[in-house]
Amino acid sequence: MKIDRVTLTHVRIPLTEPFRISSGEIRDKDATLVGVSSEGLTGYGEASPMAGTFYSSDTPESVWELLVNTLVPAIIRGKPDSIEAVNAVLEQFAGSPFARAGIETAFWDLAGQQAAKPIFELLGGKNRSLDSGLAVGIYPDISSLLAAICRHMAEGYKRIKIKIEPGWDLKPLKAVRKEFAEVPLMVDANGAYSKKDVDYLTGLDAFDLMMIEQPFPRNELQWHAELQSRIKTPVCLDEGAENAASIQRALSMNACRIVNIKIQRVGGLQKAKQMHDLCADAGIPVWGGTMPELGVGGVQTLHLASLGNFRFPTDVESSRRWFVDDIIDPVLEVKNGTLRIPEGTGNCHRVKNETIQKYKVVEALFKGSE
């Protein structure tokens, strides 16, 4: 796996509508596309934090700095000859899992192309139709929320996820449950509640929810365990499921019954698969979350979700659901509520260089070592 060059391209693509959760609002999608070229082939990964501190302390700027100044030079010096060797190099450095995911997943795409296999086959998955779920943010009022859900449900999404926070929970839930009584429904708090809200959150049992995702901050596993002991609705960890060790702690405390696995949050596909396998062994179902990423990161989540213990609809949606444009061909398109990976190798989608250049913010090129 001789590295000829590595290309980093920061792109910024406008969203089709503002996206608001309990920690903030964004109007554009920033991502760094990582291209690793070897002997005529190029594998692509995506490092995809949101602007500001929307989901985490990582930002597009901090991820770019880590990639440019530390991780890419280390990878070139290290001359890794396998996915395991790539991860061994990356493990030497602290810092952003987003940056590490961008590099690591590019090597998965490259390895798939070299072996003439899709990534899901390298992971041990099976290509199948994958249910897609609609996720909507926080809106100014109930009517706007319902209008957005109605507009997007025309694609047949297999479940609805709404974001909640203190002051925006029971009213939107009542309205959505009344309007979409037969559609599976879940909520995501992104850690917005505190211990004093445990009693209040037990009231969510009344809505027959699939799950309550990350009600408390990521480090407060005891609060999650207390809520789970008092509620029939499954508690799902997202931000709190950072790695295999955090999942083991959560399971030992009975802090959740479902885990959301995000490639970006955990630092790549190898770690994501390890977490999937750990949960499978423990009888805990998982599902594939998104940040949301652009097309490269989105389709890599579909490859991951081909593994057997992914039992709930993924957060990967149609490209046009979030972005005015996307960087892959074909773009992601939900049909009758499902997505399917096309025939091909590696990611199974090519990148659109003209689109990348159109939305480019900055680019950096690194030559491989001799």
Report how far residue 77's alpha carbon sits from residue 93's, in angstroms, rounded to the nearest whole number.
14
CA separation for the pair 107, 176 (Å, rounded): 42
Q: Which of 295, 202, 192, 180 is nearest to 239 (CA)?
A: 192
Measure the CA–CA gap between 47 and 331, rounded to whole angstroms. 18
CA distance 192 to 262: 19
Contact predicate 112/347, CB 8 Å: yes
Catalytic residue status for 262: yes
Q: Give me the catalytic one of 29, 161, 163, 273.
A: 163
Q: Which of 158, 161, 262, 271 is catalytic?
A: 262
Q: For residues 308 and 287, give the distance between their C-alpha atoms in angstroms, rounded to a whole number.
A: 10
Where in the chain does DSSP place strands (E)? 5-21, 24-38, 41-47, 130-131, 134-136, 160-163, 185-188, 212-213, 235-237, 258-261, 286-288, 328-329, 338-339, 350-351, 360-367
Residues with a known catalytic role: 163, 262
